[in-house]
Amino acid sequence: MPSHVMNTYARQPIALERGEGAWVWDTQGRRYLDALSGIAVNTLGHAHPRLVAALTDQVGKLIHTSNLYQIPLQEQLADRLCALGGMDSAFFCNSGLEANEAAIKLARLHGHNKGIARPEIVVFERAFHGRSLATLSATGNPKVQKGFEPLVEGFVRVPLNDASALQAVADTHPDVVAVFIEAIQGEGGIQPAHADFLRAARALCDRHGWLLMIDEVQCGMGRTGKWFAHHWAEVKPDVIAMAKGLASGVPIGAILAHGAAATTFGPGQHGTTFGGNPLACRAALETLAVIEDDGLLANAHARGEQIQHALHHAFAGHEGVVEVRGQGLMIGIELDRPAGALVGRMLERGVLLNVTQERVIRVLPPLIFTQEQAEMLVQALVPAVLEFLQDAPAP
């Protein structure tokens, strides 16, 4: 029977029915180890008892009211996130795309408030910020932009981790108002922004009165072993965008802002219908509480070290493996050839993961991943990769 769902996804040939912890089961009853967690969304895995209890309680009280009224849970969540990020104010939305769109709008309004008629934002090669026209234009992937031209103007693109290129923009583009950067590029192939580069970007923004805006949509919420990935570089941005893992699967996004950026928006200048409703905020507050109570930041760091150490050891001397990189439970294994076929091979071995940038195997387990599950992942992944390298033609 033909599907009435638009053909916008190249889906795998399984349908997932239920989950528990880091495990999911398909409609045929087969079990899989979830090493993707809904693309960095299911922070607490599946059916976490505390999250289930909190959401059940909230559904029985109030799901949605709209932002026409005060929302106490939203106030609590804003307080909590601002404390974690060292920020002053929060705006809530529904997704990473919307968080990044809000950041772009905030930067433009900041520029207009400074008397800049056509403000520009520095963005980076291989970046991915979303699929709306503005976030698509900020994205550094021509393949996802193709067919949607004309793109939105006002973005200046430079290579990641190239401080001289950033300085050249400062020397030649007087209308720049912000630098917008992912602390770790997720869709771009698990490419970290180096700590010294983030510090150089912060210093340049300070000198020129620019906003430093950090996209933490995929790498934030404890995934790297700290609340935000930029915390490893010990920099303080003006704007942080987040979503994905914030509420363990309940749709929510947010931007946090500091200093002048915190008061840039006024009433009527930005808004949302669903964003920050009681259900989403309850899910986020419970997620943050479980991360803290169960020591999941330390666990993400330890499991990431365990997995990366095992992979480095297993792939040493294998020329087909270009690099193993990442931070915490955000890991990429780059091969020297297209690796999409590995997704199906791993399904056969009972593991969920995916491939990005054609050649980078992306591993994003839930933060509750255990030592035993990390060992199981490595034991399934290593032979699958080595067999694939033997079978697939070399470049």
> How far apart, in Å, do the first and last CA atoms of the chain sit?
40
Which residue among 215, 226, 238, 369 is the active-site one?
A: 215
Verify whether residue 180 is a known catalytic residue: no
**Under 8 Å between Cβ of 176 and 115:** no
Q: From the candidates 91, 92, 124, 128, which is the catalytic residue?
A: 128
- Secondary element (H or E) of residue 156: strand 155-158
Query: Residue 236: which residues within 8 A CB-CB, separation 6 or more?
Result: 86, 202, 258
Active site annotation includes 244: yes
- Is residue 297 within 8 Å of residue 291, measured between CB atoms? yes
Residue 182's H or E segment, with its range, is strand 176-182
Q: Which amino acid is at 255?
A: I
Kindly state the helix (H) or strand (E) to which residue 288 belongs, with its residue range.
helix 278-293
Q: What is the DSSP string of 86-146?
A: T-SEEEEESSHHHHHHHHHHHHHHHHHHTT-SS-EEEEETT----SSHHHHHHS--HHHHT
299-324 per-residue burial string, b: 16 or more CB within 10 A, e: under 16? bbbbbbebbbebbeebbeeeebbbeb
Among 244, 315, 369, 388, the one annotated catalytic:
244
Active site residues: 128, 215, 244
